[in-house]
């Protein structure tokens, strides 16, 4: 266990950040799954911008790497364009 007051504080802060980051990452993954599950172009159009925005925000917050964000957006764009 930590002996210094600052290290105890750091442990608490790290736990809070970890929980927050897990929430952001889980929200993003759920949104991506929901978009990939859609088969209607109209339905996907309304949700597509939101999902891209979530991915960009997570890349900005360093929850995911910027290259991973780019790959996700590219694959989602391919899926979106294939919808009839």
Domain residues of the chain, as ranges? 5-82
| 24 and 32 Cβ atoms separated by less than 8 Å | no
Report pLDDT digits (tens) over 10-67: 999 999 999 999 999 999 999 999 999 999 999 999 999 999 999 999 999 999 999 9
Q: Residue 71's pLDDT band (boundaries 50, 70, 90)?
A: very high
Residue range 5-82, CATH number:
1.20.58.110
| 40 and 83 Cβ atoms separated by less than 8 Å | yes
Q: Residue 84's pLDDT band (boundaries 50, 70, 90)?
A: confident
pLDDT at 62: 95
Return the residue matching tokens 């993954």. Answer: 29
Q: Residue 3's pLDDT band (boundaries 50, 70, 90)?
A: confident
């Amino acid at each position: 266990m930590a002996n210094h007051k600052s290290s105890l504080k750091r442990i608490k802060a790290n736990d809070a950040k970890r929980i927050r980051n897990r929430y952001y990452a889980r929200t993003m993954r759920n949104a991506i799954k929901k978009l990939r599950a859609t088969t209607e172009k109209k339905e996907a159009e309304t949700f597509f911008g939101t999902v891209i925005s979530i991915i960009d925000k997570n890349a900005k917050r360093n929850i995911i790497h910027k290259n991973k964000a780019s790959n996700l957006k590219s694959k989602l764009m391919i899926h979106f364009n294939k919808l009839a």
